Amino acid sequence: MASYAEVLHYLSSLDYPAGRDEVVREAEREGAPPDVLHALRALPPVEYANGREVARSASIEAAPEVNDAQRAAAGRDKRHQRVSQHLRSI
């Protein structure tokens, strides 16, 4: 599965705003692996203002190195309730 960082990496030279087709073409031009291309082809057909919007809209794993047990423990941790889950320290 593609990661957030991978998506941003392969779209680093794209000029925004850009539509889904432009995003996919740029990733192909940059040599993105099949899992990244698959996630980008599944994007809704709208204009994206920047790479972060693309990465948030793509069906990717925000933190693939974190397993289910660690996610559950982080969800129960009340110290970081206002911090996005993939930014919490585990």
Distance CA 29, CA 56 (A): 21
* pTM of the predicted model as reported, rounded to 2 decimal places: 0.66
Whole-number Å distance between alpha carbons of 8 and 3: 9
The reported pLDDT for the residue numbered 20 is 94
Is a pLDDT exceeding 60 seen at residue 83?
A: no
* Backbone region of residue 45 per phi and psi (left: phi > 0; alpha: psi in -120 to 50; beta: other values): beta
Mean pLDDT, residues 14-25 taken together = 94
Domain boundaries, the chain: 4-57, 65-90
What is each CA distance from 4 to 40, 58, 63, 76, 77, in whole angstroms? Answer: 11, 9, 8, 24, 24
What is the predicted pLDDT for the residue at 72?
75
Give pLDDT, residue 31: 94
Q: Cα-Cα-Cα-Cα dihedral of 71, 73, 77, 81, to 10°?
A: 10
Cα-trace Rg, the chain: 15
Q: Which has more pLDDT, 58 or 22?
A: 22
pLDDT for residue 80 is more than 60: no
